[in-house]
Every structure is written in structure tokens, then in C-alpha cells.
Amino acid sequence: MKKLKITKVKSVIDRPERQKRTMQALGLNKLNATVEVEATPQILGMVRKVNHLVKVEEI
């Protein structure tokens, strides 16, 4: 399965609680934090919800 490199590029201040919790679930707490995850349908759905706050690269 493909892997994704997800980097937080914008803050979650003044964002809805749902988006804040999605970022926490992805493991992105601080600005410029990066995680590598498998590209499962669940992860892709989470990324789609916060795509304006993150940068995604395929590995």
C-alpha cells in the first residue's frame, strides 16, 4: 500500500472542533510536524477534511 507524508502547514486556531480533533488523530500537533502513514481510505478521508491545513506527498 502507498505511504503518505503529511505535514501541518497552518494552525488550527479559530477552526471548528472537528478539524482540531482530526489533526490530533493524524498525529499533527505542532506546526511543521510531519507524519508518515499508510494511504488507507480512513486516512484519505481525514486528509480530505483538513486539506487546507496540511501538505501531502506520496512516498
Give me the amino acid identity at 59: I
In SS3 terms, 3-16 reads as EEEEEECCCCCCCC
1-43 pLDDT, tens digit per residue, is 899 999 999 999 999 999 999 999 999 999 999 999 999 999 9
Amino acid 11: pLDDT: 97
Amino acid 32: pLDDT: 97
CATH number, domain of 54, equals: 3.30.1390.20
Q: 32's torsion region: left (phi>0), alpha (psi -120 to 50) or beta?
A: left
Domain span holding position 24: 3-58
Amino acid 51: pLDDT: 97
**Total domains present in the chain:** 1
Q: Which helix (H) or strand (E) holds 17?
A: helix 17-26
Amino acid 1: pLDDT: 82
* 49 CB burial (10 A radius; 0-12, 13-18, 19+): middle
